[in-house]
A and B are shown apart, each in its own frame.
Chain A
Amino acid sequence: MSKIKKFSGSFRYTQWDPCLIIFQIVAMQSVMYLSLSLLVAIMQDLTGSTRTLDHLFEYHELHIVDNEGRAVILAFVFNAVIGAFALWMIVGRTKLCLDFSCTYHGLHLIACWYYNGSFPTTFSWWTLNIACGAIMCVAGEFLCLRTELQAIPLSNIGAKVDL
């Protein structure tokens, strides 16, 4: 009965779609690591240090005593802002920003744990990641909200509108 289907909300597709969510998570993770790698690479060139994966996952590398450490921290903060735009482009829903932001950082935590072979316990790692998560989430929500609050133009849809 097409009629019955029609009644169950044609305005927006709200059904649970595991494929979509999984691909969104994968896309977020890929985009974030790609941009983080680029940012860290640029920072490494600027500070003249060697390019190494340690800067991404090794939490002992985070320190503010020298330029090298500070550059890495800067790269992470920049990446959080890029993450907000990624949320906006890939997820696009205000209510889901917190979820996806936490998911990314949770997976990053697991990646770091695996890379180092031990659970990160340093204060600097946790502070940086919580701060980055917050920036990403709040900025992402701000961007998505702006899009969601836009007026829906009704003039050029046609005679029949199903609201």
Chain B
Amino acid sequence: MYTLLHGFYKYIIQKDEYCVLILGLDNAGKTTYLEATKTKFTKKYKAMNPNRITTTVGLNIGKIDVNGVRLNFWDLGGQQELQSLWDKYYAECHAVIYIVDSSDRDRVSESKETFDRMISSEHLAGVPLLVLANKQDIPDCMGVHTVKPIFNQNAHLIGARDIMLMATSALTGDGVDEGIRWLVDCIKRNSVDRPPRNHDDNL
């Protein structure tokens, strides 16, 4: 009887869980973006001082509740050597956030190559994609109009999926909110193909 009622209670409060990958070159601001997201969507979350964010080795994990669903973020390290680990996560994720450092003109082409390699993976077919032109607070950065044509070149790889390019600043938190809400809508729409992963009740 207790198991029955407890299970019923868990069933009522349970939220659909989705996994979101945060990818991009190193130093693009992935970890900073994750911190900004957590600060925005978690009540009583103490924002971490951005200066204390160091290079990610392995991965960072974040969890937020938004619009009745739970998002699990995986912030993977972006260094060349760590990129080979990305595809291990593709099959399990429900959306990808790709972050571009728009203040770093030298590495845009490298970022673009990495991006193409990522979207050509068969495990990511149909998965919603949010591309963020980060660091918009730096005066000398590339705007959306500069970044967009670069990442739009390979339309055949993008295929039939939701994709959006947005300008953000992880440091000031601009554009974080809109991006996440857009992503949640897409994930929900795509949940027929990629159903949520619900937490197991350990009865």
A contact set with B: CB distance below 8 Å: 1, 3-5, 7-9, 14-18, 21-22, 25, 95-96, 99, 102-103, 106
Contact = CB atoms under 8 A, between A and B. Distances in A.
A99 B1 contact: yes
B161 interface: no
A4 B3 contact: no
A25 B200 contact: no
Contacts of B48: none
Contacts of A7: 92, 197
Contacts of A5: 195
Interface of B is mostly: loop
Chain B interface bracket (under 10, 10 to 19, 20 to 34, 35 or more): 10 to 19
21 contacts: A1-B91, A1-B195, A4-B91, A4-B92, A4-B195, A7-B92, A9-B200, A14-B201, A14-B202, A15-B201, A16-B8, A16-B10, A17-B7, A25-B4, A95-B203, A99-B1, A99-B2, A99-B3, A102-B2, A103-B1, A103-B2
B194 A4 contact: yes
Given A1-B194, A14-B203, A25 B92 contact: no
A4 B3 CA distance: 27
A9 B3 CA distance: 20
Interface in B165-203: 193-195, 197-198, 200-203
A9 B4 CA distance: 21
A18 B4 contact: yes
Nearest to A14: B200
A115 to B, nearest CB: 20
A96 B91 CA distance: 35
B2 A3 contact: no
A99 B1 CA distance: 6
Max count, chain A CB within 10 A of own CB: residue among B1, B197, B198, B202: B1
B201 to A, nearest CB: 5
